[in-house]
């Protein structure tokens, strides 16, 4: 993203419009982002229930159906609610995205919230809830989030309880909208062949009667260090393990450093542990737009092999610095640049990068900081990030037959012999 292509305008009502102009493309992407999700619920599940209704009729067109409209347009659309964010998106041809920008304002500012549609969505959400409650991965993920941040508003269940869903009223939805759909907590991102001035005009007109205001930020959540390990019992031969290394607010450079470490070591650890029947995946990710990060090591093994797997992971990372030979390092930096260049040509990728900064969108005023990409880091910096990572005491989560999961931490010794292996490089 260059300074020339990037522009940001704050409308008189406080809503921010951010564009990334790519002349010559026929494609475009748009995102409406609200800095409120289940964290602002008074009645659990209200934010998610309201999001379901946004695409179902508004004052300008009572029969409007977002799904039908975009299907007819041949565009890709998505509505989603998270712990601290709600968003609507569309990707497609420029003219279709322009049409959706107008519809987007009507959806957000003037939803009908018709009683018959509320009942229809209630049954859809009920089925979603029943599926959600029986899915092992969802259960595991929610338990991990609550254990890491037990008092954080974004740890609340996004769907609420079945009782909440069945008792949700139209007034509950209106109250949530009036409290939280505020201009100062919204941002509209547009990337592609739509000029900035045109996007600003359309957004300004379609969001003309949005409620003016801005909520006070919620308190910064603290990572819970009370228990070093938590397990959800399940009668199965396999034991799922998820080791979470919490990282406080990171600069873009720090995000790049930790992200690069994960990408350089992901393939290597997977290869190193393959013969030990342990699968591995690692990434650095962000919890619903909050500027808090974590490195996750996740895998599955036999319940009797948990301690051994911890020993092997420690052994691998304590030798990891020696894996960063000059050939691998140079190759990784080359792939990062290629990966970034490919992303720079995709409107949806460019918007995704900008959205990472919505939780602190004062940064939007500084175009150089709106990159959201993996920046090159020096070999010395890479070693320092690895040392910092290995100094963190993580929390261990499991799902399986073990009730006595051990804690995990790295040893101080780094004098172990280097294993011979082909680390490989994979950005996928």
Query: 144-173 burial, b if ≥16 CB within 10 A, otherwise e?
Result: bbbbbbeebbbbbbbbbeeebbeebeeebb
CATH architecture of structural domain 229-400: 2-Layer Sandwich (3.30)
- pLDDT the model gives residue 11: 95
CA distance linking residue 283 with residue 290, whole number of Å: 17
Q: What tokens appear for 10 in the block?
A: 């704050």
> CATH 3.30.830.10 residue ranges in the chain?
6-206, 229-400
Q: What tokens appear for 198 in the block?
A: 């045109």
Surface-to-core class of residue 401, CB atoms within 10 Å of its CB (0-12 exposed, 13-18 middle, 19+ buried): middle
- pLDDT the model gives residue 267: 66
What region, left, alpha or beta, does residue 210 occupy, with left being phi > 0 and alpha being psi -120 to 50 degrees? beta
- pLDDT the model gives residue 371: 42
From start to end of 104-195, where are the E strands? Answer: 186-192
CB 18 within 8 A of CB 188: yes
- The SS3 call for residue 121 is helix
- pLDDT the model gives residue 339: 66
Quick one: 6-206 is in which CATH superfamily? Metalloenzyme, LuxS/M16 peptidase-like (3.30.830.10)
pTM exceeds 0.85 for this model: no
Averaged over successive runs of 10 residues, the pLDDT of the chain (428 residues) comes to: 66 92 87 92 96 91 81 79 88 88 91 95 96 85 82 85 96 97 94 92 95 88 78 88 80 74 73 68 44 76 89 84 68 70 68 57 38 62 85 89 88 38 26
- pLDDT the model gives residue 332: 67
- pLDDT the model gives residue 217: 83
- pLDDT the model gives residue 400: 92
- pLDDT the model gives residue 230: 87
């Amino acid at each position: 993203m260059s300074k020339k292509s990037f522009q940001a305008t704050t409308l008189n009502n406080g809503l921010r419009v951010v564009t990334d102009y790519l002349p010559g493309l026929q494609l475009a992407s748009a995102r409406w982002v609200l800095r409120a999700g289940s964290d602002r619920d008074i009645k659990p599940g209200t934010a998610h229930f309201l999001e379901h209704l946004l695409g179902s009729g508004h004052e300008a067109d009572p029969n409007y159906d977002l799904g039908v409209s975009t299907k007819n347009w041949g565009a890709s659309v998505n509505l989603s609610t998270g712990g601290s964010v709600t968003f609507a998106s569309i990707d497609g041809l420029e003219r279709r995205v322009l049409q959706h920008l107008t519809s987007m304002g009507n959806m957000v500012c003037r939803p009908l919230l018709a009683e018959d549609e509320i009942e229809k969505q209630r049954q859809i959400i009920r089925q979603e809830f029943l599926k959600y409650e029986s899915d092992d991965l969802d259960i595991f993920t929610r338990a991990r989030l609550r254990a890491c941040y037990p008092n954080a508003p974004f740890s609340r269940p996004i769907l609420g309880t079945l009782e909440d869903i069945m008792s949700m009223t139209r007034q509950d939805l209106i109250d949530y909208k009036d409290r939280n759909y505020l201009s100062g907590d919204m941002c509209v991102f547009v990337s592609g062949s739509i000029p900035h001035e045109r996007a600003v005009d359309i957004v300004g007109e379609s969001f003309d009667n949005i409620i003016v205001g801005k909520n006070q930020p919620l308190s910064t959540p603290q990572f819970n260090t009370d228990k070093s390990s938590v397990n959800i019992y399940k009668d199965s031969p396999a034991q799922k393990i998820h080791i979470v290394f919490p990282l406080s607010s990171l600069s873009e450079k720090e995000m790049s450093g930790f992200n690069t470490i994960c990408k350089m070591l992901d393939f290597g650890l997977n290869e190193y542990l393959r013969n030990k029947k342990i699968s591995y995946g690692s990434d650095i990710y962000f919890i619903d737009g909050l500027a808090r990060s974590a490195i996750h090591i996740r895998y599955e093994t036999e319940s009797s092999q948990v301690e051994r797997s911890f020993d092997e992971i420690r052994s691998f990372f304590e030798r990891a610095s020696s894996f960063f030979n000059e050939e691998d390092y140079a190759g990784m930096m080359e792939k990062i640049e290629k990966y970034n260049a490919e992303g720079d040509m995709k409107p949806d990728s460019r918007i995704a990068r900008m959205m990472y900064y919505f939780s602190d969108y004062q940064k939007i005023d500084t175009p150089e900081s709106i990159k959201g990409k993996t920046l090159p880091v020096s070999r010395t910096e890479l070693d320092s990030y690895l040392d910092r990572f290995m100094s963190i005491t993580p929390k261990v989560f499991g799902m399986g037959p073990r009730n006595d999961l051990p804690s995990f931490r790295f040893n101080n010794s780094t004098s172990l012999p280097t294993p011979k292996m082909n680390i490989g490089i994979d950005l996928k």
